[in-house]
Amino acid sequence: MEQVIFWILAIGTVASSVAVIVPPMGRNPVHGALSLVVAFFFLAGLYVMLVAHLVAVLQVLIYAGAIVVLFLFVIMLLNIQSEDLGHPRPTISKLIGVIAVGFVSIVLIGFILKDKGMAEPPVGLPSDSTFGTVKTVGNLLYTSYIVPFELTSILLLVAVIGAVIMAKRRL
Amino acid sequence: MSGIPLSWWLTLGTVLFGVGTIGVLTRRNALVVFMSIELMLNAVNLILLAFARQRGDEHGHVLAFFIIAVAAAEAAVGLAIILSVFRHKRSVNLDDVRALKH
Amino acid sequence: MLDSQIEYIPVLIMLAICSAAIGGMLTLNFLLGPKRKNAIKNAPFESGEKQIHSPKRRFSVKFYLVGIFFIVFDIEAVFLFPWATLYRQWLRDPAFAWVAFGEMFLFLGILSLGLVYVWRRGALEWD
């Protein structure tokens, strides 16, 4: 049962993320952004399988809800017609890049599947476990990770200022 | 949920990361390149959460939380850069942005 | 299956019903609906006004600024959310409750500096 759900979600994730980059769908950036939303929803399902409830909610709330909306905003702001982009030219360097990435991934996957330690099932959790819920992760976030938490606010401040400076025409 | 071994999650994460990398390398539309970077970040998140589940340790969840926050900031600034490049060059094709290349 | 995962089963049922409804409607429409393709049928406003210009034009960059503010304050709300669920539990230990209050106050303070900045820069004005 679990494996069936895993395969459905995994195939859905890979298929929709391939659709983001492969020309028939990815040719139009709006279609690319929408298949990105689909990929994020499938990933949220996978996070639930990994008992990461808070992160699954964040995935839907921030990635699918905010970041992709920003992408769609920019696509509509720029309103690029597909003829403006020119035709994709398959050059030799792109081919080499794809072959290199494929080779490295296959070697990595080979090592992962060969390793005995990684084939073991994960540690068992009691059925009423609070693993990955808002309270337990939040407790870590606001006690052990105070400094990164405050640094995030500075990062967001810098992001706001930078984005306003670059996006606003007249200042 | 005990049925899925760690190696499956890592394989899925590797495949997703590879898809994102190929997108960055082959596509020349800056927006699609950005979407591929988001895919790569998600693959890393998936692997972090898989290790967190494997070891029953929630620190990976906090890291994933921060990655999502950083990705949002990165998207805001990166898209602003694309906007201002478009304003100067009238193009989002990355091959047209070569001021620092020569 | 953990108890916390079983709670997602209603979500799955909801998703299944939604996709079945949407898929069913689209396929039925595709199979049963009459198809007469000609220029008049394909016009955006059939038997209405003629189009003056293409709807595909560029939007103002002001929308993007609103989008950025949305995303930043969305992140802020997301950080506030676990804090708010935990705060009552922390109140049992007053010393730590003050620390938690102070760190969130600092976080919100730094982010409101950003709000003050965009306000002073006039990025919030819709001129």
Single out the residue of B89, A50, A142, A105 nearest to residue C103, CA to CA.
A142
Q: Which of residues 59-78 of A touch C (CB under 8 A)?
A: 61-62, 65-67, 69-70, 73-74, 76-78
pTM for the whole thing? Answer: 0.87
Tens digits of residue pLDDT in C74-116: 888 899 989 999 888 888 888 888 988 998 999 999 999 988 9
Asked whether the beta carbons of B19 and A21 are under 8 A apart, the reply is: yes
Which residue from C minimizes the CA distance to B69? C75
Q: Which of residues 35-64 of C touch A (CB under 8 A)?
A: 56-61, 63-64
Q: Inter-chain contact B26–A108, Cβ cutoff 8 Å?
A: no
C127 lies in some domain: no
Which residue from C minimizes the CA distance to B65? C79
Domain count for chain A: 2
Q: What average pLDDT does chain A have?
A: 84
Give C1→chain B minimum CA distance, Å.
5
B26: how many CB neighbours lie within 10 A of its CB?
22
Which positions ≥6 away from A68 have C-beta within 8 Å? A33, A36, A37, A40
Q: What is the mean pLDDT of residues A36-65?
A: 91
Which residue from B minimizes the CA distance to C6? B1
* Helical axes B59-89 vs A146-167, angle rounded to 10°: 10
C82 close to A (CB below 8 A): yes
Give A29→chain B minimum CA distance, Å.
7
Give B3→chain C minimum CA distance, Å.
10
ipTM for the predicted complex:
0.89
Tens digits of residue pLDDT in A94-123: 889 889 999 999 999 999 888 887 777 777
pLDDT of residue C55: 67
CA distance C43 to C47: 8
A170 close to C (CB below 8 A): no
C60 lies in some domain: yes
pLDDT-based confidence at residue A133 (cuts at 50, 70, 90): confident
| A127 shares a domain with A46 | yes
Is the pLDDT reported for residue A164 higher than 50? yes
| A157 shares a domain with A105 | no
Q: Inter-chain contact B72–C71, Cβ cutoff 8 Å?
A: yes
Coil, strand or helix: which one is C127? coil
Is the pLDDT reported for residue A88 higher than 80? no
pLDDT of residue B11: 92
| A34 shares a domain with A73 | yes
CATH label of the domain that carries residue C62 = 1.20.58.1610
pLDDT-based confidence at residue A81 (cuts at 50, 70, 90): low
Q: Inter-chain contact A150–C117, Cβ cutoff 8 Å?
A: no
A81: how many CB neighbours lie within 10 A of its CB?
8
Is the pLDDT reported for residue B47 higher than 90? yes
CATH number at B29-94: 1.10.287.3510
* Helical axes A68-78 vs A29-49, angle rounded to 10°: 180
Single out the residue of A76, A65, A142 nearest to residue C62, CA to CA.
A76
C126 lies in some domain: no
B89 close to A (CB below 8 A): no
Long-range pairs, A26-31, Cβ under 8 A, ≥24: A26/B23, A26/B27, A26/B32, A27/A82, A28/A82, A29/A71, A29/A75, A29/A80, A29/B29, A29/B31, A29/B32, A30/A72, A30/A75
Give B31→chain C minimum CA distance, Å.
15
B72 close to C (CB below 8 A): yes
C107 close to B (CB below 8 A): no
Subunits next to C (3 or more Cβ pairs <8 Å) are: A, B
| Cβ neighbours of A167 in B, within 8 Å | 80, 83-84
What domain range is A140 assigned to? 133-171
C110 close to B (CB below 8 A): no
Domain count for chain C: 1
C30 lies in some domain: yes
Q: Count, in order, helices (H) and strands (E) of chain B.
A: 3, 0
| A147 shares a domain with A83 | no
| A94 shares a domain with A34 | yes
| Cβ neighbours of C8 in B, within 8 Å | none
